[in-house]
Amino acid sequence: MEFAAVFTAAHRERHSLTKFSDLNLAPKVLKAIEDAGYESPTPIQAGAIPPALEGKDVLGIAQTGTGKTASFVLPMITMLGRGRARARMPRSLVLCPTRELAAQVAENFDQYTKYMKLTKALLIGGVSFKEQDSLIDKGVDVLIATPGRLLDHFERGKLILSDVKVMVVDEADRMLDMGFIPDIERIFGLTPFTRQTLFFSATMAPEIERITNTFLSAPARIEVARQATSGENIEQHVVMFKGSRRDRAASEKRKLLRALIDAEGEKLQNGIIFCNRKTDVDIVAKSLNKYGYQASPIHGDLEQSQRNATLEKFRNGELKILVASDVAARGLDVPSVTHVFNFDVPGHAEDYVHRIGRTGRAGRDGKAIMICEPRDEKNFADVEALIAKEISRLENPLGTPTEDAPEQEEVKAEKPKRSRSRKRKSDKVDEVKPVETKEEPRQVAAEPEAPKEAAPERQSAPAPSEPKPRRGGRGRREDDNKVVGLGDHLPSFIALSFEERQAG
């Protein structure tokens, strides 16, 4: 790839760009930044903002939590300060892999445009098309969307992308993991060739590099940290865990998680627990609440309104523990998260970097603890290889799983219940058999005493219980008519069949 320039943190330091006022941003943008309490840009912001303001394509590579969102929002709203959007034709486009990340970008946009008259629309799932269509019809300066929902609007004829001047792709490597690359390529084809592209990713997989070669023109490359590195201010640990028995491993693992939470004590102000599967997210959250921990789940199957409410409680401090799938591993901007627990080792090593990046943000210290089972050892080795460091091992605070007395007692208590139920079943069978053997002789003895003039209903009623005497009495000629069970009206062809059998 041919690059116009390669910017690094050291390069920016040599040019003494240490304040936002040095970055040629619009005065109203600088005022909003000052209100937010920020004075100095992060390395990725100091590297990306100047070439973006010059109209160049930008390729930004930085770990999560380094301020990538502001590095494209700030120059974008500065450039959009002049001009006006037309109906259904947004002037800029920001693509995000998840709803949460898109909502976070929208919040940043609102924060930094408080003194400017710029409009936005957020196109994500879980919100009605009608509300989103009404915003697009009015014309928006910034369109923030997930790829799937954006294409839905386009295919319905509600959106025209021919006027997009700036296009941003955020968390491109996550787009790759979620299978959005074909959608991204299609969206690139729907926008003008003359657009400016700002492309951000934490890692540079071969597929990501292919896209940048195809759709970016002589981009300025800003790489402020080695690809897929974890923050040095995050303390990382792992507990190697093996269940005492296969059917107890899940409950023992949840008990280990609770012990790790307890061990942190007051240091744990709030934390995020990551699980690989959505079902485990719900189970872990329910288990924590059962034992008195304040926790709520968040994953892709929940309604968007519920996810927003949960995140808001977590940000406000009303919720202490958030149990999440990887849907929240990126784009969740809560600066004060003190702990991250990996209940499962992630299937992709890159996800580990993004998960623990939820803590230790904005220069704060953080702590990440992971539980590794024998089946996860290969994925764990990939994580250590990616971050190029050994994660320190922690002793299991519960000791060996075989010492887990409460769990053993709980399992034992269930066994007698099953054995007693089996006995009850067998008792019922034993009770039925003697009743049948006693009743059969009574019925045989009572039949001869019954008068022949008895009503037909009485003769036909025992018929269902008389198959056995019928089979046993076939050799007795005088009982043939009784066995047939048709009363006095015996058809002649049936009688003929008996006569032939007797003759034979």
Q: Note the pLDDT tens digit of each residue in 421-464.
A: 444 444 444 444 444 444 444 444 444 444 444 444 444 444 44
Distance between the two ends of the chain, CA-based, in angstroms?
Answer: 103
Q: Is the dihedral of CA 345, 350, 354, 357 positive or negative?
A: positive
When pLDDT is averaged across residues 292-310 and rounded to a whole number, the result is 86
79-80-81 Cα angle (round to 5)? 90
Listed as own residue / partner, the contacts of 359-362 with beta carbons closer than 8 Å and 24 or more positions apart are 359/234, 359/271, 359/272, 360/65, 360/231, 360/233, 360/234, 361/65, 361/333, 361/334, 361/335, 361/337, 362/65, 362/335
Give the DSSP H/E element, type plus range, for residue 339. strand 339-342
What is the distance between the alpha carbons of residues 221 and 113, in angstroms, rounded to a whole number?
A: 27
Percent of the chain with pLDDT over 90: 46
What is the distance between the alpha carbons of residues 307 and 301, in angstroms, rounded to a whole number?
A: 10
Percentages of the chain per state (helix, strand, coil), in multiples of 5: 50, 15, 35
What is the distance between the alpha carbons of residues 194 and 455, in angstroms, rounded to a whole number?
A: 101
Six token digits for residue 168? 């941003």
Q: Is the dihedral of CA 417, 423, 427, 433 positive or negative?
A: positive
Backbone angles phi, psi at 242, to 5 degrees: -140, 125
What is the distance between the alpha carbons of residues 101 and 202, in angstroms, rounded to a whole number?
A: 14
- For residue 57, what pLDDT is reported? 97
User: Angle, to 10 degrees, between the axis of helix 68-79 and the axis of helix 43-53?
Assistant: 20
- For residue 497, what pLDDT is reported? 55
Q: Which of 377, 359, 3, 43 is nearest to 226 (CA)?
A: 43
Provide CATH code, domain 234-403: 3.40.50.300
The answer on pLDDT for 277 being more than 70 is: yes
Q: Find all residues with CB under 8 Å of 474, minimum gap 6, and list them.
A: 483
What is the distance between the alpha carbons of residues 81 and 26, in angstroms, rounded to a whole number?
A: 8
What is the distance between the alpha carbons of residues 160 and 107, in angstroms, rounded to a whole number?
A: 24
C-alpha torsion angle, residues 315, 319, 320, 326 (rounded to 10): -70
Report whether 66 contacts 225 (CB < 8 A): yes
Six token digits for residue 337? 């998260």
What is the distance between the alpha carbons of residues 337 and 315, in angstroms, rounded to a whole number?
A: 9
Task: Please give the residue that has the higher pLDDT: either 42 or 429.
Answer: 42
Task: Please give the residue that has the higher pLDDT: either 251 or 348.
Answer: 251
The answer on pLDDT for 243 being more than 60 is: yes
The answer on pLDDT for 63 being more than 90 is: no
> Within 10 A of 6 (CB to CB), how many other CB atoms are there?
12
What is the distance between the alpha carbons of residues 315 and 181, in angstroms, rounded to a whole number?
A: 31
Q: Which of 231, 243, 194 is nearest to 57 (CA)?
A: 194
Sheet with 142-145, strands from edge to edge, namely 5-7, 220-223, 58-61, 196-201, 166-169, 92-95, 142-145, 120-123
What is the distance between the alpha carbons of residues 58 and 69, in angstroms, rounded to a whole number?
A: 13
The answer on pLDDT for 153 being more than 90 is: yes
pTM across the whole model: 0.61
The answer on pLDDT for 401 being more than 50 is: yes
Report whether 490 contacts 484 (CB < 8 A): yes
Report whether 254 contacts 221 (CB < 8 A): no
What is the distance between the alpha carbons of residues 130 and 121, in angstroms, rounded to a whole number?
A: 12
- For residue 229, what pLDDT is reported? 62
Beta bridge partners of 238: 370, 393
When pLDDT is averaged across residues 351-372 and rounded to a whole number, the result is 86
For residue 417, name the pLDDT band (cuts at 50, 70, 90): very low
- For residue 307, what pLDDT is reported? 83
In terms of Cβ atoms closer than 10 Å to its own Cβ (0-12, 13-18, 19+), residue 435 is exposed
Q: Write the pLDDT tens digit of every residue in 4-39.
A: 444 444 444 444 446 898 899 999 999 999 998 888
Report whether 153 contacts 133 (CB < 8 A): yes
Report whether 27 contacts 243 (CB < 8 A): no
Mean pLDDT of the chain: 79
- For residue 372, what pLDDT is reported? 96
When pLDDT is averaged across residues 398-415 and rounded to a whole number, the result is 48
Q: Is the dihedral of CA 90, 93, 98, 101 positive or negative?
A: negative
CATH of 5-223, picked from 2.30.110.10, 2.40.50.100, 3.40.50.300, 3.40.50.740, is: 3.40.50.300
SS3 302: coil
